[in-house]
Structure 1
Amino acid sequence: MRSSVQAVDYVVLVCYLLLMAGVGAFFMRFMRLGSDFLKGGNRVEWWVAGMASFMSGFSVWTFTGGAGFAYRNGVIGVFLMSLAVPAFFFGYIVFAKSWRRSRVTTVVEYIRSRFGDGTHKTFSWLTGPSQLMFGSVRLFALSSFMSIALGVPVEYLVVICGLVVLGYTSLGGYWAVCFTDMFQFMFLFPIACMLMVLSLSNVGGFSSFVAQAPPGFFNPFAGEYGWLFLIVYTISQTTGYNNFGNAQRYFCADTEQSAKRIAILCMVLFTIGSVIFYLPPLIARVAIPELGTAANGLRQPSEAAYIAMGLRVLPPGMVGILLAAMLASSMASLSAHNHIITGIFAKDLYQGYLRKDASDRHMLVASRITSLGVGFVMIGVALLFAQGTSGIFTLLFILESMFLIPLGLPLLYGFLVRGGPWWSAVFAYAIGAITSLFVNFYLNRYRGMGLNETYLIGIPAVTTTIAFFLPVILFKPTGAFAERVNAFFKKLDTPIDTSTELGESGFSGRGQLALVGKVTTGMGLACFLIVLVSSPGRDRLITLIYAVITTAVGLAFVGAGRTPKTDDAVPKGTEVGLATEE
């Protein structure tokens, strides 16, 4: 697979990593308080947060396991991504507004507001280490795949990628996390569109692709998956996309209206992206039918479907952009994990129990140190995995099945009902986690039943839901806990008052547009250098088209970020203040 990766592709990858590190240094100037670091002072524009939310839904699995699933099973693979659309629809109608009005800094802080200190302590110590493990496994998975593609030792890539994520996250906080994700979107989306078009052209167009596809390839229910799987996976997506990293995008917005716009934007992006990102691996089934059995270093050879189509149709230089885009999407997920864990340890545990009177300036330092510590631990654990730890992907799946549904569902249910004792969420989590372990280890491993994702996700979802609502039906909140619950829902009924609840913005909305435009324009202009070293003919034309499109998009953002001229003269010396207000 790495035979088609040339020197120019490595140069592109190095330049991309340097750009991401530079973003963190740029946003360091906006870090004045702990709230700036952890939630951007609620001043990151909704369209930036929306694109960041879209990007944080990606990981190396999207381009390997997800692509391989589509290659083997056909069009149902598209549903793996498109089911994020109903998930964000639920976010739009319920959870976006609720998360913003909760007025929290971290998800775990919401647990304290809604369920009390006992549940807060339990979930803090469950969530922090588990998210740290998830981040470490994803860093190792990313490095393993890129090692196969580039021929670079896994350990080197773990350290390089880990340090880049650690650098921009610890320097620029939430601002850097969102804007690096935004730039990664600008890097990923154009090359993904181009790969889709070139893949279709490679097999003679869409009608030719349909004619050559295997029987049942476009029937989403031809295999072992059906309507029940889609329902269960929708529950999983709804739980995942309205909790933790994506919930952070909601409660870090300036108003609930902006939070809902984030959900709408994600619905649009996932609707379009489902086709753009999963059409190439579907086409690979026709263009490269032997891929499913060809040894390439991956656990399942078909997991190379996406990059294999890239190597097949993209010229040198553009392959480097594709690899950088895949790297970008995975780093977006890693930076989100780092920031979530930092918030839990710094805000919920350190300030919550050790330094309750810590000032905002002190919390900025504490958050930055915590972010550094989290990053180094993630790198260290990923290096341990690289030394030969076996079954790591199985471990990741088991851990996610223990935490995503059993932990995530009670948190969402807490927004919907007022009843139940303080321990209802803990009880629901315990039952769901035990059920998950029972299904994974006893039914599948010991009894050899071979249950697929429909049951691995669905059974814990059912038991978690029953375990949450049973105490809600049987018990009512009493005493101090009842007062806490009433106070929490009173906050949910109170709209955000931007005049009193938001501080001054050091970076205006137009300034954010202009920054995105300048960086994107720079990326496009840099691509013209690749044009110069491309082979004449088809390769040079493809690279030129990409460079022109990227530059044009960047210039459009720059134009949108300009302060509009008015008929009235602007007094000298007031420009900065006006830019801040916009």
Structure 2
Amino acid sequence: MNGLDWTVLIGYFGVMVAIGFWSHKRVDTVSDFFTAGGKMPWWLSGISHHMSGYSAVMFTGYAGIAYTYGVTSFVTWSFPIALGIAIGSKLFAPRVNRLRSRLHVASPLEYLKNRYNLPTQQALVWSGMLLKIVDVGAKWAAIATLLSVFTGVSLNQGILITGAITAVYCTIGGLWADALTELGQFVIQLLAGLSMFIAVVAKLHDKDIGFLGAWDQPALHGHGRPLVGPYGTVFLLAFLFIKLFEYNGGMLNQAQRYMATRDAREATRSARLSAALWLVWPVVLFFPMWMSPLLVHAKKPDGSDSYALMTEQLLPHGLLGLVVVGFFSHTMAMCSSDANAIAAVFTRDVAPVLSRRAREWGRRPALVAARVTTVVFLGLSMSVATQVNTPAFKDIITVVIKWVAGLMGPIAIPMMLGLLRRFRRSGPTAALTSWAAGLLAFWLVNYPINWNVHGGVPLQYQVSVPLAVSLVLYIVVGYLRPEDTPERLAVIERINTDDDGTEALAVPVPAGAGDDVVGTGTPDRT
């Protein structure tokens, strides 16, 4: 990078911080900080939902998969996400929105105390927060890896720089700052992605290969196959289920985008926009990665540096800086939204359980606690990022695929399926059994069993077994030991009906609950 590239990068950081300060004026309550007060337009929510699902892992870990295997990077990653969000636009998005509009909660996990009980809520809350720290740590490590390629700064310096900038704007402005910066980041990503796409097509033309003729080159032999290597049919099906839960609320930050819209209908439109973007835009981003074996020779065994090397070679200064900004935009979008979600969970679901004073927080103390929690979460995730490439985690893509995807099912299944009438019989026993057995299955297939199987347990089973165990037990235990009490049925009905629905059941909410108090009283039939 030269002075022009650095100017673009520093200018981007400045705009992000400015948006944070501008958004600060729109944040008066915890509800504003965590769910934008339910005033976010559906199109902004949809773009924010889409952007908060990316990170620099796409340009490192998934670039390595594209470099090594080809189009399976799209077929087994962004396509399942698009399909999962499309299904969830009708199945989950309106129900998640009603958590705010009907139950007056500000955290995606806040309703679990009434849907199940306090121990179940706390089990899911703590395991979800710990998983998020590891997940975001991998994202910081990914962007620091790219930054080191372009600028020569160390990994730890890169983690510190990106984390500090993100902490400023998302701590000051809350979800409004996240969404507005993600809108700007989407525009930057659009320009950067198209620049790289055009540069690669032009380079292929210069080599007399052509846009379509590239697939006939020996270096891309087998790269057109949709399922290859460890990414087979079982992996695809498991990933579809995982992404169905994860990107519709299981990872918390996407749930906030649905909660931030005005009503359930707008939440559905938001999800559909995000699904369409996930289906189309990643193809533009992935095409240069699929062509990378023809243009560069990766230095790392997993090919994770291939996209960065190709960017350096093909783009002039200025555009190079824009693409680097695109890398930052992905990671900062996801990490800031995760930080906001975890702050919501801790402030609303954990602190009141640990401290009596927290249960009595007024508007101002609650907002201060939310901001402090955001900074603490970012600090912890940055600490984990420094350990991502150690033997404990192996590498970035291992963390993202094996750890996050493998652990997502046991945590998300009780939360997401608990929204649906069909699973009303599944209560605290089913939820805790599903959660605990899924975590145990993850440990068994990744460690004791993996160590004693020649060649190790295939990746597709490391990911799918915990999900399958949790899903089956949640359903079976709910059938064998139903716990559909009137109180729990009341909560489910409130989530599943609109205000004009004749089947709606009322949950009493204390006066003033719309801003900073959660309606946690015993729900009654009406």
Could you tell me how far apart the structure 1 residues matched to 2:215 and 2:63 are?
Answer: 18
Contact residue 410 and residue 425 of structure 1 kept, 8 A: yes
Could you tell me how far apart the structure 2 residues matched to 1:330 and 1:496 are?
Answer: 38
Distance verdict in 2 for CA 1:156–1:287, change over 3 Å: closer
Q: Which residue of 2 aligns with 1:34?
A: 30
Deviations 1:549-570 (A, max 9, x none): xxxxxxxxxxxxxxxxxxxxxx
Once the two structures are superposed, the pairs formed by residues 352-371 of structure 1 within 5 Å of their partners are 354=355, 355-371=358-374
Deviation at 1:501, TM superposition (A): 11
Identical amino acids, percent of aligned pairs: 23
Once the two structures are superposed, the pairs formed by residues 77-476 of structure 1 within 5 Å of their partners are 77-79=73-75, 80-103=77-100, 104-204=105-205, 205-212=210-217, 214-221=220-227, 223-242=229-248, 243=250, 244-288=252-296, 291-292=297-298, 295=299, 298=300, 300=302, 302-351=303-352, 354=355, 355-383=358-386, 391=394, 393=396, 394=398, 398-416=402-420, 417-476=423-482
Deviations 1:154-195 (A, max 9, x none): 232222111111111110011011111111111111210221
Once the two structures are superposed, the pairs formed by residues 493-572 of structure 1 within 5 Å of their partners are 493-495=496-498
Q: Which residue of 2 aligns with 1:486?
A: 489
Deviations 1:371-421 (A, max 9, x none): 233233334444566999873645665542453121112222212310023
1:69 pairs with 2:72: no
Contact residue 242 and residue 405 of structure 2 kept, 8 A: no
Could you tell me how far apart the structure 1 residues matched to 2:123 and 2:467 are?
Answer: 20
Could you tell me how far apart the structure 2 residues matched to 1:111 and 1:451 are?
Answer: 34
Deviation at 1:207, TM superposition (A): 2.2
Q: Which moved more, 1:386-395 or 1:38-47?
A: 386-395
Q: Which has the larger radius of gyration?
A: 1
Could you tell me how far apart the structure 1 residues matched to 2:155 and 2:496 are?
Answer: 50
Q: Which residue of 2 aligns with 1:557?
A: none
Q: For residue 413 of structure 1, what is the amino acid of its counterpart?
A: L
Contact residue 406 and residue 464 of structure 2 kept, 8 A: no
Deviations 1:178-235 (A, max 9, x none): 1111111111112102211221221123222233263332122454543333222211
SS at the partner of 1:275?
helix
Q: For residue 419 of structure 2, what is the amino acid of its counterpart?
A: F
Deviation at 1:503, TM superposition (A): 8.2
Deviations 1:498-535 (A, max 9, x none): xx99989xxxxxxxxxxxxxxxxxxxxxxxxxxxxxxx
Distance verdict in 2 for CA 1:390–1:304, change over 3 Å: same
Q: For residue 158 of structure 2, what is the amino acid of its counterpart?
A: L
Could you tell me how far apart the structure 2 residues matched to 1:211 and 1:384 are?
Answer: 41
Tell me the TM-score normalised to structure 1 length. Answer: 0.79
Superposition RMSD in Å: 2.5
Deviations 1:222-255 (A, max 9, x none): 5454333322221122121112111111122111
Distance verdict in 2 for CA 1:154–1:202, change over 3 Å: same
Contact residue 44 and residue 183 of structure 2 kept, 8 A: yes
Q: For residue 273 of structure 2, what is the amino acid of its counterpart?
A: L
Could you tell me how far apart the structure 1 residues matched to 2:171 and 2:121 are?
Answer: 25
From the two aligned structures, give the one with the greater helix fraction: 1
Distance verdict in 2 for CA 1:230–1:31, change over 3 Å: same
Deviation at 1:101, TM superposition (A): 1.4
Could you tell me how far apart the structure 2 residues matched to 1:449 and 1:24 are?
Answer: 49
Distance verdict in 2 for CA 1:501–1:264, change over 3 Å: farther
Contact residue 41 and residue 502 of structure 1 kept, 8 A: no
How many residue pairs get matched? 488
Q: Which moved more, 1:28-37 or 1:392-401?
A: 392-401
Could you tell me how far apart the structure 2 residues matched to 1:414 and 1:161 are?
Answer: 36
Q: For residue 459 of structure 1, what is the amino acid of its counterpart?
A: V
Q: For residue 167 of structure 1, what is the amino acid of its counterpart?
A: V
Deviations 1:256-307 (A, max 9, x none): 111111111111111111211100011112233xx14xx2xx452x222322
Tell me the TM-score normalised to structure 2 length. Answer: 0.87
Tell me which of 30, 42, 49 is aligned to 2:45.
49
Deviation at 1:115, TM superposition (A): 1.3
Runs of at least 5 residues in structure 2 that lack an aligned partner in the other structure: 501-510, 516-526
Q: Which moved more, 1:220-229 or 1:307-316?
A: 220-229
Runs of at least 5 residues in structure 1 that lack an aligned partner in the other structure: 505-582
Could you tell me how far apart the structure 1 residues matched to 2:496 and 2:158 are?
Answer: 48
